[in-house]
Amino acid sequence: MPDSFYITTPIYYVNDVPHIGHAYTTIAADVVTRWHRQNGRKAYFLTGTDEHGQKVHEAATARGMAPQAHVDELCQPFQELWERLQITNDDFIRTTEPRHTDVVKAVLQKLFDAGDIYAADYEGWYSKSEERFWTEKDLVDGKCPMSGNPVEWLKEKNYFFKMAKYADQLREWIADHPDFLQPKSRKNEVLGYLKKEVGDLCISRPNHRLPWGIPLPFDEGYVTYVWFDALLNYVSAIGYHPEGSTDEFSTRWPATFHLVGKDILTTHSVYFSTMLFALGERPAQCLYAHGWWTVEGQKMGKSTGNAVDPHLLIDCYGVDAVRYFLLREIPFGGDGDFSHGAFMTRYNADLANDLGNLAHRSLSMTEKWLGGQVPALDKDTARDQVLSALAAETLQTFSTQIEQLHFSLALEALWTLVRAGNKYIDDEEPWRLNREGQTERLGGVMRRCLEVCRVAAILLAPFCPNKSRELADKLGVGELEVAAAGRLDGLTTGHPVPPGEPLFPRLVELPERIQETLAALIPEAAEKAAEKAKAKAKKHEKEAPVSEETTDETPRISIDDFFKVELRAGKVVDAESHPNADRLLVLKVDIGEAEPRNIVAGIANKYSPADLVGKQVVIVANLKPAKLRGVVSEGMLLACGGKSIEGLVTVDPECAPGAVVR
Ligand code: MSP
């Protein structure tokens, strides 16, 4: 990776408020920018709004507003949403700003003077919604091939950019720069487009048809075609000028990445690259086209879009979870569906269960058994070495994937480590180490678990900046240094690490506001989502051996509460009737101790003493002894049933008396 990194999002039309598609690209750009900054590289991130053109003009007219007043107002919801999503863009360009319009005019003049822009009469099918002409053969069923909207036959004088002149240069460029267009599947679409003859590009609109745009400097009767204007934002914002650019431009250009949706890859790759060639400049290093989101299985429109309104999502799920879900759920480049049921599943499985639990278990056990301070490492065992090696490998894979914009694969790599952390706890059995008084080893084990949490806090930072900070604070970690994520020894021994609140409380059901919104906007999805979400939540409750507190109607205990109960396998070596109670029996149960335990059990309704001798049972071994009708009981037998016993809980005969049950 070069030292300097420049990334852009498309500039969004201000014909409406921002939706999840806009948020998606912007979050992706933010994540990769944060990552590079975290690595000490100079990253520059540009986004903005596209404020000219037919769509925006129509939106202003529909609101009865002057276009400038309309765009001044509607660029704000974008800026506000980026603030709420904690987008760290360095600049926000608006195409109505003089710093941009001046550059567009200068570019037009330069290309006009050079003969690369010429006037001609043009006849063709014009699509109002796409703001472009089509030839007869382009049409699909007589309609616009992109929008499916009706087209009208127009004949008028217009200005054209000699795009055809640069088509071969573009073909060569693509051949020489295999990483220029990504992902591969989308690259093929552009190659298909370039296989056909490339025409010149109409870059003007007569004033009488569209009065809103940058006037052509050489003919005031026309405004600039919105795409020719908008694409130049990527260079105007960083100091490009055809008569002499700033130093800033030479350090930033060519951009590292232009992130775009799949629908606008052609305009970016063909229009913009040929424009740059005409100006004697190079295109960006990579144009990366992502896929489109559907909503609850349907194409995103006005009402489906509102069902996933970014503000609603942030309010109900929290900003970090929204950022995480969008980049984790589908590979960047592919299409995907946003459903609230899927959101809840992903949230509970990855954030609440995997990461949330790892953090909560590790911190709680450290608090309970090790005084709530980072314990010292002990000598590595083979299993410890495997975990350390995995941490090093995770950093490698994570870095490679995120830098290639494979966000979901980067997160998958991190989750492999998080899951390994949970498995490590299960394998090492810290509760056993505690019981057996193996304090040094217990400390070493818990230290490694806390170290895995530290690695997760570092690598999760670009995606979930708040939760990552929260976790780092719990662990006493200041700067989230990437280099320190490859080793399991970055914490400070003795630093206090109180568990505090769970990082990601479980979602037990769809938030009420989401249920209401879905019911109002996509009723068919509402029921399905709620049912699915409930079923999934139940399933995860069962699957997750350790879960954080919930607010379910059944009171829940934490894993730590559960670990307080010491269950042991035992063998009944003697049994007799209780001298003072018909319903009770008095048993002697061998649980591997010097003497069998005396246990009084209320099972006489089901068993006679003779039935019991030799049975392998389970007992609660750490109950305080109690006198039952005059006989001391030193434990409790596990049995099924309510008031009347249906049967004893027994264990496999292979289990030795005293074996831990968990
Ligand atoms: N103004 C132009 C871009 C000019 S860039 C020089 C434009 N604006 S837009 O507001 O209509 O769309 C912006 C982006 O949103 C595009 O990248 C588009 O792919 C993306 N999306 C629109 N709907 C989307 C989904 N349903 N899902 C994902 N992204 C979507 O085009």
How does pLDDT run across 455-465, given as a tens digit for each residue? 999 999 999 99
Q: Taking Cα atoms as reference points, which of 353, 291, 339, 346 lies closest to residue 324?
A: 346
Q: Which residues sit opposite 43 in a β-bridge?
A: 5
Mean pLDDT of 416-435: 96
User: What's the chain's average pLDDT?
Assistant: 92
Residue 3: which pLDDT band, with cuts at 50, 70 and 90? low
The residue whose C-alpha atom lies closest to atom 17 belonging to ligand 1 is: 261
Cα angle 41, 47, 51 (rounded to 5 degrees) comes to: 160
| pLDDT: which is higher, 385 or 604 | 385
The residue whose C-alpha atom lies closest to atom 5 belonging to ligand 1 is: 10
Q: Calculate how far, in angstroms, residue 264's C-alpha sits from the geometric centre of ligand 1.
A: 7
The strand pair at 626-628 and 91-94 is best described as unpaired
For residue 77, the model assigns a pLDDT of: 98
Query: Ligand 1 atom closest to Cα of 293?
Result: 27
Three-state secondary structure string covering 273-293? HHHHHHCCCCCCCEEEEECCE
For residue 161, the model assigns a pLDDT of: 98
Q: Taking Cα atoms as reference points, which of 475, 463, 432, 445 lies closest to residue 567?
A: 432
Q: Calculate how far, in angstroms, residue 331's C-alpha sits from the geometric centre of ligand 1.
A: 18
DSSP 344: H
Residue 556: which pLDDT band, with cuts at 50, 70 and 90? low
By the 10 Å C-beta count (0-12 exposed, 13-18 middle, 19+ buried), 643 is classed as: exposed
The amino acid occupying position 220 is: E
Helix segments in 94-221, DSSP class H: 98-113, 167-176, 184-195
DSSP 456: H
Identify the three-state secondary structure at position 19: coil
- Tell the residue number behind the tokens 């029921």, with chain if given: 527
| Distance (Å, whole) CA 469 – CA 485 | 15
Q: Calculate how far, in angstroms, residue 51's C-alpha sits from the geometric centre of ligand 1.
A: 14
Chain centre distance of CA 261: 18
Q: How many CB atoms lie within 10 A of CB 177?
A: 13
Q: Taking Cα atoms as reference points, which of 59, 41, 42, 37 lies closest to residue 50?
A: 59
| pLDDT: which is higher, 538 or 543 | 538
For residue 524, the model assigns a pLDDT of: 85
For residue 643, the model assigns a pLDDT of: 62
| Distance (Å, whole) CA 574 – CA 576 | 7
Is the pLDDT assigned to residue 535 strictly greater than 90?
Answer: no
For residue 538, the model assigns a pLDDT of: 63
Identify the three-state secondary structure at position 215: strand
Are the beta carbons of 255 and 180 closer than 8 angstroms? Answer: no
Helix segments in 404-463, DSSP class H: 407-428, 430-435, 439-460
For residue 549, the model assigns a pLDDT of: 25
Contacts of 493 (CB under 8 A, 6+ apart): 373, 374, 375, 376, 377, 447
Peptide bond into 183 cis (omega under 30): yes
Which tens digits make up the pLDDT trace of 242-285? 999 999 999 999 999 999 999 999 999 999 999 999 999 999 99
Each as own residue / partner, the long-range contacts of residues 419-425 (CB below 8 Å, 24 or more positions apart, any chain) are: 419/354, 420/387, 420/390, 420/452, 421/358, 421/362, 421/387, 421/449, 421/452, 421/453, 422/354, 422/357, 422/358, 422/361, 422/546, 424/383, 424/387, 424/448, 424/449, 424/452, 425/358, 425/361, 425/362, 425/449
DSSP 140: B
Are the beta carbons of 32 and 332 closer than 8 angstroms? Answer: no
Identify the three-state secondary structure at position 127: strand
By the 10 Å C-beta count (0-12 exposed, 13-18 middle, 19+ buried), 511 is classed as: middle
Mean pLDDT of 508-527: 91
Which tens digits make up the pLDDT trace of 323-353? 999 999 999 999 999 999 999 999 999 999 9
| Distance (Å, whole) CA 224 – CA 50 | 13
- Tell the residue number behind the tokens 């925006």, with chain if given: 56
Which tens digits make up the pLDDT trace of 539-553? 655 544 443 322 223
Q: List, as one string, the DSSP characters of 592-634.
A: SSSSPEEEEES-TTT--HHHHTT-EEEEETTSPPEEETTEEE-
Q: How many CB atoms lie within 10 A of CB 32?
A: 27
Q: Calculate how far, in angstroms, residue 12's C-alpha sits from the geometric centre of ligand 1.
A: 7
For residue 138, the model assigns a pLDDT of: 85
Is the pLDDT assigned to residue 530 strictly greater than 80?
Answer: no
| Distance (Å, whole) CA 78 – CA 101 | 21
The residue whose C-alpha atom lies closest to atom 21 belonging to ligand 1 is: 21
Q: Taking Cα atoms as reference points, which of 265, 267, 253, 257 lies closest to residue 292?
A: 265
Query: Ligand 1 atom closest to Cα of 9?
Result: 5
In angstroms, the Cα distances linking 259 to 10, 89, 336, 452 are 7, 14, 17, 32
| Distance (Å, whole) CA 518 – CA 340 | 9
Identify the three-state secondary structure at position 652: coil
For residue 323, the model assigns a pLDDT of: 98
Is the pLDDT assigned to residue 536 strictly greater than 60?
Answer: no
For residue 195, the model assigns a pLDDT of: 92
| Distance (Å, whole) CA 21 – CA 290 | 10
Does residue 491 come out as left (phi exceeding 0), alpha (psi in the -120 to 50 range) or beta?
A: beta
Q: Taking Cα atoms as reference points, which of 480, 481, 477 lies closest to residue 492?
A: 477
Query: How many alpha carbons fall within 13 Å on the CB side of residue 344?
Result: 25
Query: Ligand 1 atom closest to Cα of 295?
Result: 26
Query: Ligand 1 atom closest to Cα of 15?
Result: 10
Q: Calculate how far, in angstroms, residue 362's C-alpha sits from the geometric centre of ligand 1.
A: 43
Per-residue tokens: 107: 């570019």
Instruction: Provide the terminal-to-terminal Cα distance of the chain, rounded to the nearest Å.
Output: 49
Identify which of 7, 8, 9, 13 to mutate to test ligand 1's pocket (most ligand atoms within 8 A of the CB): 13
Are the beta carbons of 463 and 489 closer than 8 angstroms? Answer: no
Are the beta carbons of 181 and 174 closer than 8 angstroms? Answer: yes
Q: Of the given ranges (497-506, 528-537, 650-659), which has the lowest mean pLDDT?
A: 528-537
For residue 185, the model assigns a pLDDT of: 87
Is the pLDDT assigned to residue 17 strictly greater than 60?
Answer: yes
Identify the three-state secondary structure at position 487: coil
| Distance (Å, whole) CA 238 – CA 7 | 12
User: Which residues contact ligand 1 via a Cβ below 6 A?
Assistant: 10-13, 21-22, 24-25, 50, 230-231, 233, 260-261, 263-264, 292-293, 300
Chain centre distance of CA 57: 35
Q: Calculate how far, in angstroms, residue 10's C-alpha sits from the geometric centre of ligand 1.
A: 7
Per-residue tokens: 188: 């093929």
Q: How many CB atoms lie within 10 A of CB 277?
A: 19
| Distance (Å, whole) CA 373 – CA 28 | 37
Q: Count the helices and strands in the chain (H runs, E runs).
A: 26, 25
Which tens digits make up the pLDDT trace of 589-637? 888 887 889 999 999 888 888 889 889 999 999 898 888 888 899 999 9
Which tens digits make up the pLDDT trace of 305-314? 999 999 999 9
